[in-house]
């Protein structure tokens, strides 16, 4: 079966040194699998390559090999330690962009603003660009240059999220209301704005995935988990409780419509033809009447023109 036009075929380029320098990761505890799973939810990751001086990060090589990542060794190019990994990554990404048209998405695993021109050039060539890096070590300029940005879960961030779940559980049982108030889920303003705008122009039900993609286009690093929601569906559920939208079920799929909206277009209520006829205005029909019982309407009298009199010539004399 040939791939569909909407299926993403992703090329992953990893600036490994950037991901493990002052980020909380080390070459021994770096785990690419969660981020790779996020990419696999969007499509096929058919190209995987990581760049750095691997003599400095030997502990990471085995794990990356197991995930099918090709390791490109780039020794330092200067005595100060600045290597040529960035330049090699850019050249390979552009070469792949022009030589492999079937690859429609590029994931740049780095937070370095030096990759902003690369992201812009890839988008000019109609490629979808995904950024991947640690939040506290990422340039805001690079985030804005991407179509989507995914933040890596560092060990400290994973501990924060694991601690948050028990606190929410205690809040539900009433044991710690103060903590629950601080951790209360709140719909971000960017989601409110985008969803309201799309629903105002919608001519039919909207797919939640379409709404999520629109929010991500507005804010590439959007992640509903940062606002206390386990999924985007949970966020839509909260918005429905606030009266911002209505969710409807059609088969196995859930769709979103405006508040008190309908799933199908209806005729304009202002049109006379669209209003139902009141029962009082419908003529009541009794037993079928015979032809003789129906009173005939008075017919106009027939006008017979008078005959023209022709004079007798013998009488005129």
Q: Which domains does the chain have, with CATH numbers?
A: 8-160 (3.40.50.1010), 184-257 (1.10.10.10)
Output the pLDDT for position 61: 92
Question: Is a pLDDT exceeding 90 seen at residue 142?
Answer: yes
Residues 42 and 52: their CA atoms lie apart, in Å, by 27
- Strands (E) across 100-143 are located at 105-109, 128-133
Q: Confidence band (pLDDT; 50, 70, 90) for 303?
A: low
Can you read off the two tokens belonging to residue 198? 């799309």
Q: Confidence band (pLDDT; 50, 70, 90) for 9?
A: very high
Question: Is a pLDDT exceeding 60 seen at residue 170?
Answer: no
Query: What percent of the chain is modeled with pLDDT above 70?
Result: 68
Average pLDDT of the segment spanning 155-172: 49
Residues 253 and 272: their CA atoms lie apart, in Å, by 35
Query: What does the pLDDT look like over 106-139, one tens digit per residue?
Result: 999 999 999 999 999 999 999 999 999 998 889 9
Output the pLDDT for position 185: 81
Q: What share of the chain is helix, strand, coil (3-state, %, to 5)?
A: 40, 15, 45
Q: Confidence band (pLDDT; 50, 70, 90) for 169?
A: very low
Output the pLDDT for position 315: 52
284 in helix, strand or coil? Answer: coil
- Phi, psi torsion values for 53, nearest 5 degrees: -85, 95
Can you read off the two tokens belonging to residue 172? 């539900």
Residues 180 and 154: their CA atoms lie apart, in Å, by 24
Query: What does the pLDDT look like over 66-90, one tens digit per residue?
Result: 999 999 998 876 655 556 889 999 9
How far from 196 is each of 181, 199, 205, 217, CA to CA, in Å?
Answer: 26, 5, 13, 15
Instruction: State the residue for tokens 């985008």.
Output: 194
Strands 253-257 vs 246-250: parallel, antiparallel or unpaired: antiparallel
Q: Which residues of 263-273 are buried (b: 16+ CB within 10 A; e: fewer)?
A: eeeeeeeeeee
Question: Is a pLDDT exceeding 60 seen at residue 310?
Answer: no
Judge if pTM exceeds 0.75: no
Query: What does the pLDDT look like over 201-230, one tens digit per residue?
Result: 888 899 888 898 888 888 888 888 888 888
Q: Confidence band (pLDDT; 50, 70, 90) for 268?
A: very low
């Amino acid at each position: 079966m040939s791939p569909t036009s909407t299926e993403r075929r992703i090329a992953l380029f990893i600036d490994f040194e950037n991901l493990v320098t002052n980020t909380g990761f080390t070459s021994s505890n770096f785990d690419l699998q969660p981020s790779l799973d996020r990419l696999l939810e969007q499509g096929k990751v058919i190209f995987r390559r990581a760049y750095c001086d691997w003599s400095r990060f030997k502990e990471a090589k085995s794990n990356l090999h197991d995930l099918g990542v090709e390791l490109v060794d780039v020794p330092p190019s200067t005595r100060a330690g600045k290597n040529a990994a960035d330049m090699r990554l850019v050249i390979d990404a552009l070469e792949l962009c022009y030589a492999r048209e079937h690859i429609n998405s590029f994931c740049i695993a780095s937070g370095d603003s030096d990759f902003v021109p690369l992201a812009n050039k890839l988008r000019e060539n109609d490629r979808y660009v995904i950024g991947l890096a640690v939040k506290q070590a990422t340039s805001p300029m690079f985030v804005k240059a991407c179509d989507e940005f995914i933040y890596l879960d560092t060990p400290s961030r994973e501990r924060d999220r694991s601690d948050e779940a028990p606190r929410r559980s205690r809040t539900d049982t009433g044991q710690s209301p103060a903590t629950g108030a601080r951790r209360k889920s709140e719909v971000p303003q960017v989601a409110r704005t985008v969803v309201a705008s799309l629903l105002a122009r919608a001519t039919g039900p909207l797919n939640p995935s379409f709404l999520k993609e629109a929010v991500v286009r507005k804010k590439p690093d959007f992640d509903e988990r940062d606002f206390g929601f386990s999924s985007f569906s949970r966020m839509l559920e909260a918005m429905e409780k606030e009266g911002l939208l209505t969710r409807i079920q059609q088969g196995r799929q859930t769709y979103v419509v405006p508040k008190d909206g309908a799933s199908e277009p209806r005729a304009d209520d202002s049109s006379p033809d669209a209003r139902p006829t009141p029962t009082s205005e419908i003529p009541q029909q009794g037993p079928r009447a015979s032809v003789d019982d129906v009173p005939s309407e008075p017919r106009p009298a027939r006008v017979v023109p008078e005959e023209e009199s022709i004079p007798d010539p013998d009488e005129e004399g």
